Structure 1
Amino acid sequence: MTAPWTADTGDGHYRNPILYADFSDPDVIGVGDDFFMTASSFNRVPGLPLLHSTDLVNWRLVGHALERLRPEDFYRTPRHGCGVWAPALRHHDGRFWIVYPDPDHGIYVTTSDDPAGTWTEPRLILPGSGLIDPCPLWDDDGNTYLVHGWAKSRCGFNNRLTAYRMRPDLTGPLDTGTVIVDGDSIPGCRTLEGPKWYQHDGWYWIFAPGGGVQHGWQYAMRSRDVLGPYEPRIVLTQGDTTVNGPHQGAWVQTPAGESWFLHFQDLHAYGRVVHLQPMTWDGNGWPVIGDRGAPVRRHRKPATTTHTPRPFAGTPEWTWPANPEPGWSTRLPDADGLRLLCRPGDDLRKAPAVLGRRLPGPRVRAETTVHLDAGIGARAGLTVLGQAYCWIGLEQRPGGPVLVCRTADAAGEAERDVSPPVPVDRPVRLAVTVADGAITRFAADSGTGWTQYGPPVQATPGHWIGATLGLFALGSHGHADFGPLVIAASEEP
């Protein structure tokens, strides 16, 4: 079985993206010979994924810092576009720190002594609406600061960065905040957000994206004083490449002294995939990212102590679109099978009980089996879910289960059949193939071989996230048993 995407080419080089999966707004740090990454998770639960690498190319998922979204009751139903926006990951005073924003509630902090272990309950340190994309800085002089951006959708303005002096343990601010960068004063600047704060070579640095998700660019800004003024320079743009909107990420140094920059690219239904760019410094002390400020597609790997190829792997990541209730899913005795309890719902976009995975590559085939034991009207199946969606699976009718394939083409639109229902009398194998351009094709085997159902369907992103590959069981009572979800590369173009 071939992995859907491998960045390590096996010859001392890598290809971008290093993660062909929706890990938006990545932040990365180096601790000794190890690198750790977190990313935005929005309304996915659990949130704040933690990934580990020893070479910045091969990553594995090791856990999550946020088991449930806060406030608890607010996230009992899917809140698309809400939840965890761009976080910052830091290592300070022997602990790992994540500061993350919820644009509707404020800025939180959580800490741990082990990224793969237990994280503290998130503490709200700056309450308010519209505060996004925070990053702390423990200054060499002993002072502590935090900078953040603003979401116009919540507070009516954006394009500026505000900083606070903070208590050293980040439990709260020591002042009311100061605007240290006003994007409106920078020619051509718009949607300035996502700041990451560093000290280097006698300067304070803020790396921040501008221009928006799909067509933006990356700034580096420097100042001799922590609170500015900051001198901006654009250091990464699309140029003549196909890598749109290359920005919003992290600068990291290796033990060998090399600098690298990680950022995302918005690929619509595939989500915001992660790229790795080489970074050097010019004679005036400014960063040079990629190939003279444009993204590279292929490059030699970072010089690190470990070069063992390790494709994206680790803990299988299942997430819900809202805080789940106990017992919604249980493991079946035979290895990786799952039992999902039927939960009320009609529109999959509004249902909290859809168990999902990120799409892991450009060409993917996912297979499972399903057996439905539930009341009349219950449904269970395999879906590719975004602002529109399609699914294949079983529906319980008075005469027994039928195999159906359905789609909802636009938000709020009711589902419709895209193939005639077929009576079945046994568990059914289900499959979906995602081909280039996120074109999906659904198929099933009810005992006579694989048959395609419905026409090809264009997958769509969700709200700030890529499409979700999901399993679900909806109905008033009963359950559905799924076999292991087997995901591999597809050969379909």
Structure 2
Amino acid sequence: MRSALTAALLLTIAPAAAQQATYTNPIIYADYSDPDVIRVGSDYYMVASSFHLSPGIPVLKSRDLVHWSIIGHVLPKLPFGPLYDMPGPHMLTDKISKPIGGTKYASGVWAPSIRHHDGKFWVYWATPDEGVFMATATDPAGPWSEALAVEATAGLEDPCPFWDDDGKAWLVHGKVGAGPLILHRMSPDGTRLLDEGVVIAEDKERLPVLEGPKFYKRDGWYYIFAPIGGVGTGPQAVGRAKDIRGPYEWRNVLEPGTTPIQGPHQGGYVETPSGQGWFA
């Protein structure tokens, strides 16, 4: 879902050994809302929300999780209709700060996920009005395949794919408005859903404003990282289960700080080659 973050943050989760270098948050002074990050070999890759902007879904690369460079975009142009073109001029004033009426301002790409599987990079994202989409590439710098609709249903958000050890593919996502989290079986090629889905997390008291799920597996446990409570004040929660369908036990792992930098909210968990865990 949309996030008010205007910079990417880097936070440690697992205990880490002494670092060779230091860094200061935010590590990127730019709008990279709802980032997701993975490591492939010794390289790290990040994607982020791009909303109505074209080109869409920036792909960034780093060798140290601190210094990032843009290497490409998944979408040369948002292919979802002429309302995304938004030709100007738009008469903006002190009271009207964004285009209104007849445009898709702030719609478009919300909270993409990036994964590396079967020798390819996979990016999944949702648009609030069109559905869940995916694209693949052998080189993260591109070219990327054309956007493919995995589920052409409005009102979905924040999808994340997962391929299990047995080859089965899954997709978790939320709904616009935050929550619940819904899990689907997916075709192994990642192009279509195989069922109507089952709710695996919904608790408006303990998990309010549940969104942005990211799936992981470690030591036989399934983990879902998901922010709760809203952008301004919410922590990062993690649920874990022995069965991918649950039940999941939840606890908060990262709390908001006291600085003007908002967070932690949506993001991705990644481990270094030495096993250090980081949230970006």
For 1:128, the equivalent position in structure 2 comes to: 153
CA contact (8 A) 2:207 2:228 kept: yes
Q: How far off its partner does 1:35 sit?
A: 0.4
Q: How far off its partner does 1:171 sit?
A: 1.3
1:205-244 counterparts in 2 under 5 A?
Answer: 205-244=223-262
Q: Does 1:23 align with 2:41?
A: no
Structure number with larger C-alpha Rg: 1
For 1:405, the equivalent position in structure 2 comes to: none
1:376-391 counterparts in 2 under 5 A?
Answer: none
Q: Does 1:140 align with 2:165?
A: yes
Stretches of structure 2 that go unaligned for 5 or more consecutive residues are 1-6, 10-19, 87-102
Distance 1:171 1:188 in 2: 33
For 2:220, the equivalent position in structure 1 comes to: 202
For 1:68, the equivalent position in structure 2 comes to: 77
For 1:115, the equivalent position in structure 2 comes to: 140
CA contact (8 A) 1:213 1:245 kept: yes
Alpha-carbon displacement from aligned partner over 1:83-120 (angstroms, at most 9, x marks no partner): 00000000000000000100101000000001112000
CA contact (8 A) 2:84 2:105 kept: no
Identity of aligned residues (%): 50
CA contact (8 A) 1:212 1:245 kept: no
Distance 2:65 2:112 in 1: 19
Query: SS of 1:79's equivalent?
Result: coil
CA contact (8 A) 1:251 1:260 kept: yes
Distance 1:140 1:32 in 2: 19
Alpha-carbon displacement from aligned partner over 1:393-414 (angstroms, at most 9, x marks no partner): xxxxxxxxxxxxxxxxxxxxxx
CA contact (8 A) 1:30 1:252 kept: yes
For 2:185, the equivalent position in structure 1 comes to: 165
Alpha-carbon displacement from aligned partner over 1:225-272 (angstroms, at most 9, x marks no partner): 00111111011112444443312101001112211111xxxxxxxxxx
CA contact (8 A) 1:166 1:172 kept: yes
**Code of the aligned partner of 2:25:** N
Q: How far off its partner does 1:188 sit?
A: 3.7
Query: SS of 1:87's equivalent?
Result: strand
CA distance 1:240–1:82, shift in 2 (3 Å)? closer
**Code of the aligned partner of 1:225:** D
For 2:99, the equivalent position in structure 1 comes to: none
CA contact (8 A) 1:147 1:163 kept: yes
Query: SS of 1:141's equivalent?
Result: coil
CA contact (8 A) 2:257 2:263 kept: no
**Code of the aligned partner of 1:14:** Y
Alpha-carbon displacement from aligned partner over 1:362-419 (angstroms, at most 9, x marks no partner): xxxxxxxxxxxxxxxxxxxxxxxxxxxxxxxxxxxxxxxxxxxxxxxxxxxxxxxxxx
Alpha-carbon displacement from aligned partner over 1:434-479 (angstroms, at most 9, x marks no partner): xxxxxxxxxxxxxxxxxxxxxxxxxxxxxxxxxxxxxxxxxxxxxx
Q: Does 1:38 align with 2:51?
A: no
1:265-276 counterparts in 2 under 5 A?
Answer: none
Q: How far off its partner does 1:29 sit?
A: 0.4
Q: How far off its partner does 1:20 sit?
A: 1.3
Distance 2:260 2:76 in 1: 36
Q: How far off its partner does 1:189 sit?
A: 2.4
Stretches of structure 1 that go unaligned for 5 or more consecutive residues are 153-157, 263-493
Distance 1:69 1:203 in 2: 37
Query: SS of 2:110's equivalent?
Result: coil
For 1:397, the equivalent position in structure 2 comes to: none
For 2:94, the equivalent position in structure 1 comes to: none
CA contact (8 A) 1:163 1:227 kept: yes
Query: SS of 1:15's equivalent?
Result: coil
Query: SS of 2:209's equivalent?
Result: coil
CA distance 1:167–1:17, shift in 2 (3 Å)? same
* Structure with more strand by fraction: 1
Distance 2:265 2:68 in 1: 20
Distance 1:239 1:214 in 2: 10
Q: CA RMSD in A?
A: 1.9
For 1:413, the equivalent position in structure 2 comes to: none
**Code of the aligned partner of 2:211:** E
Distance 2:176 2:30 in 1: 25
CA contact (8 A) 2:110 2:127 kept: yes
TM-score by length of 1: 0.49
Q: How far off its partner does 1:15 sit?
A: 0.5
TM-score by length of 2: 0.85
CA contact (8 A) 2:220 2:242 kept: yes
Q: How far off its partner does 1:127 sit?
A: 1.2
**Code of the aligned partner of 1:79:** K
For 1:254, the equivalent position in structure 2 comes to: 272
1:391-406 counterparts in 2 under 5 A?
Answer: none
Q: How far off its partner does 1:53 sit?
A: 0.2
CA contact (8 A) 1:28 1:251 kept: yes
CA contact (8 A) 1:236 1:247 kept: no
Q: How far off its partner does 1:215 sit?
A: 1.7
